Copies of this chain bind each other. A is one copy, B any other.
């Protein structure tokens, strides 16, 4: 019998509770005969109508000091008090499972090291890609590969908005309103639409893939708020769609990572990923391209990833699973200005194209002109472009 505690009874916390109850039998089979039950739920709110009101507490010490609890599920989100709570649990020899990408991206290095020292596990499958299995495959299934590239559609809200803009010719503001109406976007959508959420996620993936901590602050991040209807229309003329992409390239131990809208040619696997779905394309030196696709958010998908980690922890009580990356002291980030790609340009004057030999002219409308440059470095592009409009990077096929 393994006892777990849930910190935070929001959407995901409730989903975790529900799945553990509903699938008790099959979970017991999967742990090899060990039944998992929830003994405590920490939340500041009251849940008087809950079927097990006796589980609730407002005092974290009830969990921390309970020697029966071997697994702590942290689904509170945010850094405070999640960081202190997670640290205290690991120091007390308890496993910690989280869906908190912000915390993993900020303090993951320290928390994983603490887990290792205390012979327990800090697992975070649900922090990236919601229900899509990606952390474990990256760490384990692809262990035999050097990971060379990761391209991910990592945020369901922005993907929904961009899908809407492509399919219905909607502009950003109305697509956002629709997403908010459907509950796909929060009332304050900044973390999603400015790319902050995707940034934390690609930083986690890049850290795992490179084995060294990629600080999310070193990942240049642009959101989708400046994408226009005309951008979408002329991208279509170029047989492409626009998606928010988190990418990382690893070359000789050095990492280039970025979050930005990208023009993705149709036919590319990521171009077909629509609505709130997420997908992560991983390129390994042995395996070639592998893609993982599914629902990147939502109560049950995310909760099912958390519960999978709970089961894994139950199977590895006091065995550290060696999911880890090193603190990186030296500078191993590639200067983004030296990276190169093609650029999809919206120019504010027709003659801007003259600065780009070999550019493909897509035409124009309403005083804006569109073209696609040849492959060039960021630095060279920006020098030639001189801010005469806007641009979107093109994902290479």
Contact of A136 among B140, B300, B311 (CB under 8 A): B140
**A321-368 residues at the B interface, CB under 8 angstroms:** 321-322
Task: Let me know if B294 and A291 touch, CB within 8 A.
Answer: yes
Task: Let me know if B286 and A143 touch, CB within 8 A.
Answer: no
Chain A interfacial residues counted at CB < 8 A: 54
Question: How far, in angstroms, from A198 to B66 measured CA to CA in the complex?
Answer: 50
Question: How far, in angstroms, from A20 to B34 measured CA to CA in the complex?
Answer: 35
In the complex, identify which listed stretch (A77-85, A160-168, A301-309, A389-397) lies at the interface while the others stay far away: A301-309
Q: Which residue on B lies nearest to A15, using beta carbons? A: B286
Question: How far, in angstroms, from A26 to B322 measured CA to CA in the complex?
Answer: 13
A50 within 8 A of B: no
In the assembled complex, the CB of A325 is this many whole angstroms from the nearest CB of chain B, namely 10
Task: Let me know if A290 and B132 touch, CB within 8 A.
Answer: yes
Contact of A137 among B32, B137, B144, B285 (CB under 8 A): B137
Instruction: Take A30-B322, A322-B30, A322-B32 as given contacts and tell me if A143 and B307 are in contact as well, using a CB distance cutoff of 8 Å.
Output: yes
9 residue pairs of the A-B complex, CB under 8 angstroms, read A19-B286, A30-B143, A133-B141, A140-B308, A140-B312, A143-B308, A285-B300, A288-B295, A291-B292
* Chain A residues engaging chain B, CB cutoff 8 angstroms: 15, 19, 23, 26-27, 29-32, 125, 131-133, 136-137, 139-146, 211, 269, 272, 284-295, 298, 300-301, 303-308, 310-312, 315, 319, 321-322
- Beyond contacts A27-B143, A289-B294: 14 other A-B pairs, Cβ-Cβ < 8 A, are A19-B286, A27-B144, A132-B290, A136-B140, A140-B308, A140-B312, A142-B304, A143-B307, A144-B305, A144-B308, A284-B304, A288-B295, A288-B298, A293-B293
